[in-house]
Each structure stands twice: as structure tokens, then as C-alpha cells.
């Protein structure tokens, strides 16, 4: 407790309490983008939280997984390789420059060039061959191969003002970004980004200024809200959200399109190569007790490596049973009546109660004689291992993350033979995955997705645990805050009189 009190004291020195709290919105998050205002280097949270204040993509996916217009109002496949995208005609960048088709073409030209080799978003658009401005508000995109999922990828195509980008280049633009969003960054530091509202934005904000504050420790963010030094704290656990609610604020939670799993390394000649063992581990977990005890009972329990809002989810797959006796019988049938030991690598501190989650899973597995040794490692090593291979354990914790396309096929770019260093690769299912990626036949594409989900369930390719749920807390005078698939609608947030 001493270190927590000391940390909170230091935090209070870093934050200035404003004399007029209605004039500034202060949001605490786990981290700020290391690339400042370059929206193309990363594709996940918490960085998308920050970029959605300044930038917009062409589409968005709503809470139910449905595609919605954003900077684009319409999209049509002219043939298997050609798309026409119609844009809004009433949007300007924060410097007053009109948003037109030239901005879209400029972004796509950059992302498909050799200059974008370091950009994570460039990999999302590797299917693009070229693009043209048909008129000021219509873009033609030509792809290398049929890409029916293109509209669901467009939330990641954040628009930058082309003149500013050309003048400054990616590194200079990162320090002086210009987008179409409701807030314009005015100052970057290691722990804070300061913003001014953009009254001419098509997403008109109501609060004149904003600060995004990085505070890695959830306890510190919670205390900052309780002390009135932050208005919103993101990335909390259920206990912190409840603490804020008990003090007169609001504790919030919302489901995501990501499924948490412990992923097995296949083909290593150990017990995990046997499907009976993988099934035994899955049915030995009391998931209801896990989510009730650690996550306030909020997450939906898995039936497959996708949540129910994700396009391609198969509603006919039954719940995973909790059956310790059958788990023991499966282990004995597979030749491991006394159990075995395996090593799981996990990042601790990136999700709500993740340390306790690993311990609960290990406790359940011990009941069938299986010892799960937990080895923690930093998120930087997780990313490096995913990108390069070189794992030290037999399994590791990571999500089947369908955001932002909210399609069951998105996580399979990693969780299948499609990945350059796969931890799971079964060629039997690849024809279905590959056809689903390119077919424009909606019914056929949906059936193929269901087939893939059933295959992954019946092969028990991972230890499927629960839907990821995000938690936040706000002061009592905050209204309109929400996050959907990584995007925050900052223009909807209001601060009312206490």
C-alpha cells in the first residue's frame, strides 16, 4: 500500500486541477501512442482511443457489429476487383482545408508505397493495387484480388490533411497532425497530450479543451478520478469501476468483439498435440465461476473463437461444458492419466484481473492433474514473439481480436497458416478460410465462416475463456462517454454542472 500512496502523491503533483472544470476534459489512459500523431503505426487499443479524437476513417462498425457510414456515405463493388467509395461533401480538416477524394488517394498511395514499410496499417491494405479520384467526392479503389471485406477495413483508413502530410512528411506530421476529428493536438509530452476543440469539425465537440493523460497503474487513475484530477479513467478493472461508482461517480463496462484465450503451440510433440487433451483442458475450466468471481459476471462465455456480435459467429454451436469427470477420462484415454505439466507465457496488467485469471485457470486444471506453470513476460516480448516466433513456453495468452473489422476472419490472419510464424496451422481448414476471404457470395461467405468456427471449436485449437470486457470510471458530472470497438465519440461527451 505504501508504494500506491506514494505513486498517487506523485501523480497529484503532475496534474493541475483546473479552476473551471467545465472548460477542460481530462481522460486517463494506460499509454499514449509512441508515434504521437501518426495514426498508421499501430492498429489496436489503447492507441485508437487517442487517434479517434483527431482522425476519422471512412466507415465504422457499430456495437452490434454492423457496418456504418462515416466519412464515406456509400460503397459499391463494381466488379470483383473494383470499388467505388462515395464521400461526405461537408467535412473540413482542422486547418480549414476541405476533405475530398484527393486525401483518400494520398493516404492509399502512401500506405501502398515502400515508405510505409514500418506502418502496421499498411499491412491492412496490402490488397490495394491503386486508387483514383473519379471526382472530388468519389474514389475508385482497385485491388490485387477480390476483397469483399474492404468496407469493414475502412475504419482504419484514418484521414490526414494531404498538404500538411506532404510538407512535413510522416515524422514531422506526427508532431503537428491535422485531421477531421473534434479535437486538434496542441502539445505532446511523454505523459500528456493537450488538445483544443475544433468548432468547425463535422463532429462538433462541446468541451473547449481536452487532455489525454498516461498513467499506467489503474489504481492511480482511479484515485485521480476520485480526487477530481481526471474526469474519465479508462482501462480499469471491475473493482476500480465499482470504487468510483460507490463514491458518486459512474462505473462503466461494455463488451468487445474479442475473445480471450490461452493459445496452444501445436506440433511440438507434447500432450497438447492431442485433440483429446485440448478438449480435456477446455472442459475442466469453470468459466461461470471465473467470470462471476473476477469480471462481475459480465462477459459472455465462449462457444467458439468469436463473440456473438462478430460477423460470421455461428449461433448453433453449444456452450462449452464444465465436466471434470469427462476431462479426466479424456486425459486417461490420451495416455495421461496422471496429468502433465505445461508452461504458459502471459502478460500481466494489460487486462482486467488478468493475473487472477491465470491463477484461476491453473487452479481448475490442477483438479484434473494438469499443472499449468505461469511465466510472465512484458508486452514487448509478446509482440516480438508473435512477429518473429521464438516462444519459450507451450502456450501463451492473447485474444482472438476481431476489431476493428468485427469479422471472424480477422483474427485468423494470425491464428492460422496465414501467419508467417504460426503457432497453429492446419491445412485442412485453409481452403475454407481462403475462399471466405474472397467470395462476394454473402450466403456462401457466411456458411464458410460458420464452418471455420465449428472446425476451431471441434479441434479445440486454444483454451477459449471469455469475451473481453472493458471497464472505465467517470466523475458524476460526465455524460455521453462511450467506446465502441476502440473508437471514442469525443463529440458526445459533456460535463454538466455538479
Cα separation, 46 vs 40, whole angstroms? 14
Q: What mean pLDDT is predicted for residues 20-46?
A: 82
Residue 398 host element (H or E):
strand 395-401
Cα separation, 14 vs 377, whole angstroms? 29
pLDDT above 90 (res 4)? no
How is the chain split among helix, strand and coil, in percent rounded to 5?
35, 25, 40
User: Sorting pLDDT into bands at 50, 70 and 90, what band is 350?
Assistant: low
Question: So what's the pLDDT on residue 22?
Answer: 64
Cα separation, 373 vs 414, whole angstroms? 24
pLDDT above 60 (res 11)? no
Question: So what's the pLDDT on residue 349?
Answer: 66
Cα separation, 363 vs 358, whole angstroms? 9
Cα separation, 225 vs 12, whole angstroms? 11
Inter-CA distances, 332 with 241, 275, 294, 340, Å: 44, 13, 31, 11
Average pLDDT, the chain: 90
pLDDT, one tens digit per residue, over 88-122 is 999 999 999 999 999 999 999 999 999 998 888 99
Question: So what's the pLDDT on residue 463?
Answer: 97
Q: What mean pLDDT is predicted for residues 250-270?
A: 92
CB atoms within 10 A of CB 312: 23
Cα separation, 161 vs 181, whole angstroms? 11
Least confident of 50-59, 185-194, 351-360, 474-483: 351-360
CATH of domain 2-54+181-249+475-495: 3.40.190.10
> Based on C-alpha coordinates, what's the Rg of the chain?
23
Q: What mean pLDDT is predicted for residues 57-64?
A: 93
Give the chain's end-to-end CA distance (angstroms, integer): 31
What residues form DSSP beta bridges with 374? 344
Cα separation, 489 vs 480, whole angstroms? 8
pLDDT above 60 (res 341)? yes
Tell me which DSSP letter residue 167 carries.
H
Note whether 71 and 161 are within 8 A (CB): no
Percent of the chain with pLDDT over 90: 73
* 187 Cβ neighbours under 8 A, 6+ residues apart: 193, 194
Cα separation, 171 vs 445, whole angstroms? 40
Question: So what's the pLDDT on residue 217?
Answer: 82
Matching CATH topology for 2-54+181-249+475-495 and 59-165? Answer: no
What residues form DSSP beta bridges with 344? 374, 395
Inter-CA distances, 331 with 223, 271, 395, Å: 47, 9, 18
Q: What mean pLDDT is predicted for residues 465-477?
A: 93
Cα separation, 196 vs 184, whole angstroms? 5
pLDDT above 80 (res 19)? no
pLDDT, one tens digit per residue, over 264-279 is 999 989 999 999 999 9
Q: Which CATH architecture has domain 59-165?
A: Alpha-Beta Complex (3.90)
Q: Where do the domains of the chain lie?
A: 2-54+181-249+475-495, 59-165, 256-469
pLDDT above 80 (res 38)? yes
Note whether 488 and 480 are within 8 A (CB): no
* 363 Cβ neighbours under 8 A, 6+ residues apart: none
Using DSSP's 3-state secondary structure scheme, residue 185 falls into strand
pLDDT above 70 (res 10)? no
Least confident of 36-40, 128-132, 319-323, 341-345: 36-40
pLDDT above 50 (res 72)? yes
Q: What mean pLDDT is predicted for residues 234-259?
A: 92
Residue 151 host element (H or E):
helix 150-153
Note whether 281 and 371 are within 8 A (CB): no
CA dihedral 485, 487, 491, 494 (to 10 degrees): 70
User: Sorting pLDDT into bands at 50, 70 and 90, what band is 21?
Assistant: very low
CATH of domain 256-469: 3.10.105.10
Cα separation, 332 vs 252, whole angstroms? 45
What predicted TM-score, i.e. pTM, was given to this entire model?
0.84
Q: What mean pLDDT is predicted for residues 342-370?
A: 88
Cα separation, 362 vs 355, whole angstroms? 11
Q: What mean pLDDT is predicted for residues 127-131?
A: 95
Cα separation, 241 vs 474, whole angstroms? 8
Cα separation, 287 vs 464, whole angstroms? 9
User: Sorting pLDDT into bands at 50, 70 and 90, what band is 167?
Assistant: very high
pLDDT above 50 (res 14)? no
Question: So what's the pLDDT on residue 275?
Answer: 96
Residue whose C-alpha is closest to residue 155's, from 472, 461, 486, 463: 486
User: Sorting pLDDT into bands at 50, 70 and 90, what band is 137?
Assistant: very high
Question: So what's the pLDDT on residue 70?
Answer: 97
Q: What mean pLDDT is predicted for residues 405-419?
A: 93
Amino acid at each position: 500500500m505504501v508504494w500506491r500512496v506514494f505513486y498517487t502523491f506523485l501523480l497529484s503533483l503532475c496534474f493541475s486541477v483546473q479552476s473551471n472544470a467545465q472548460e477542460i476534459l481530462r481522460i486517463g489512459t494506460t499509454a499514449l501512442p509512441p508515434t504521437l500523431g501518426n495514426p498508421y503505426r499501430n492498429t489496436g487499443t489503447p492507441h485508437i482511443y487517442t487517434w479517434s479524437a483527431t482522425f476519422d476513417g471512412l466507415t465504422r462498425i457499430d456495437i452490434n457489429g454492423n457496418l456504418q457510414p462515416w466519412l464515406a456515405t456509400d460503397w459499391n463493388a463494381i466488379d470483383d476487383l473494383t470499388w467505388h467509395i462515395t464521400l461526405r461533401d461537408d467535412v473540413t480538416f482542422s486547418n480549414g482545408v476541405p476533405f475530398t477524394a484527393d486525401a483518400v488517394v494520398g493516404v492509399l498511395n502512401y500506405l501502398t508505397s515502400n515508405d510505409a514499410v514500418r506502418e502496421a496499417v499498411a499491412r491492412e491494405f496490402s490488397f490495394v493495387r491503386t486508387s483514383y479520384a473519379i471526382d472530388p467526392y468519389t474514389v475508385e479503389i482497385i485491388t490485387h484480388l477480390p476483397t469483399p471485406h474492404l468496407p469493414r477495413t475502412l475504419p482504419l483508413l484514418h484521414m490526414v490533411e494531404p498538404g500538411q502530410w506532404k510538407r512535413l512528411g510522416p515524422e514531422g506530421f506526427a508532431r503537428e497532425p491535422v485531421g477531421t476529428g473534434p479535437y486538434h493536438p496542441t502539445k505532446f509530452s511523454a505523459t500528456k497530450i493537450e488538445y483544443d476543440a475544433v468548432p468547425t469539425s463535422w463532429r462538433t465537440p462541446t468541451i473547449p479543451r481536452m487532455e489525454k493523460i498516461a498513467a499506467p497503474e489503474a489504481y492511480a487513475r482511479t484515485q485521480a478520478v476520485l480526487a477530481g484530477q481526471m474526469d474519465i479513467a479508462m482501462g480499469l478493472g471491475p473493482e476500480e469501476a465499482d470504487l468510483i461508482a460507490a463514491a458518486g461517480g459512474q462505473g462503466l463496462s461494455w463488451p468487445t468483439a474479442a475473445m480471450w484465450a490461452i493459445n496452444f503451440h501445436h506440433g511440438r510433440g507434447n500432450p497438447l498435440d492431442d485433440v483429446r487433451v485440448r478438449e480435456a483442458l477446455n472442459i475442466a475450466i469453470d468459466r461461470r465461476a471465473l467470470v462471476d468471481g473476477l469480471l462481475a459476471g459480465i462477459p459472455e462465455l465462449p462457444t467458439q473463437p468469436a463473440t456473438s456480435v462478430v460477423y460470421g459467429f455461428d449461433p448453433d454451436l453449444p456452450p462449452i461444458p464444465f465436466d471434470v469427470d469427462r476431462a479426466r477420462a479424456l486425459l486417461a484415454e490420451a495416455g495421461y492419466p496422471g496429468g502433465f505439466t505445461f508452461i504458459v507465457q502471459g502478460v500481466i496488467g494489460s487486462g482486467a484481473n488478468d493475473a487472477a485469471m491465470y491463477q484461476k485457470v491453473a487452479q481448475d486444471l490442477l483438479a484434473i492433474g494438469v499443472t499449468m506453470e505461469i511465466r510472465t513476460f512484458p508486452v514487448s516480448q509478446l509482440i516480438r514473439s508473435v512477429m518473429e516466433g521464438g516462444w519459450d513456453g507451450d502456450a501463451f495468452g492473447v485474444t482472438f481480436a476481431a476489431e476493428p473489422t468485427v469479422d471472424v476472419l480477422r483474427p485468423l490472419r494470425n491464428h492460422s497458416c496465414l501467419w508467417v510464424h504460426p503457432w497453429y496451422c492446419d491445412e485442412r481448414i485453409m481452403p475454407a478460410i481462403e475462399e471466405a476471404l474472397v467470395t462476394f457470395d454473402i450466403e456462401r461467405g457466411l456458411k464458410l465462416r460458420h464452418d471455420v468456427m465449428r472446425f476451431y471449436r471441434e479441434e479445440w485449437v486454444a483454451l477459449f475463456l471469455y469475451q473481453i470486457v472493458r471497464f472505465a470510471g467517470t466523475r458524476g458530472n460526465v455524460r455521453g462517454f462511450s467506446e465502441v470497438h476502440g473508437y471514442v465519440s469525443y463529440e458526445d461527451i459533456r460535463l454538466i454542472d455538479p
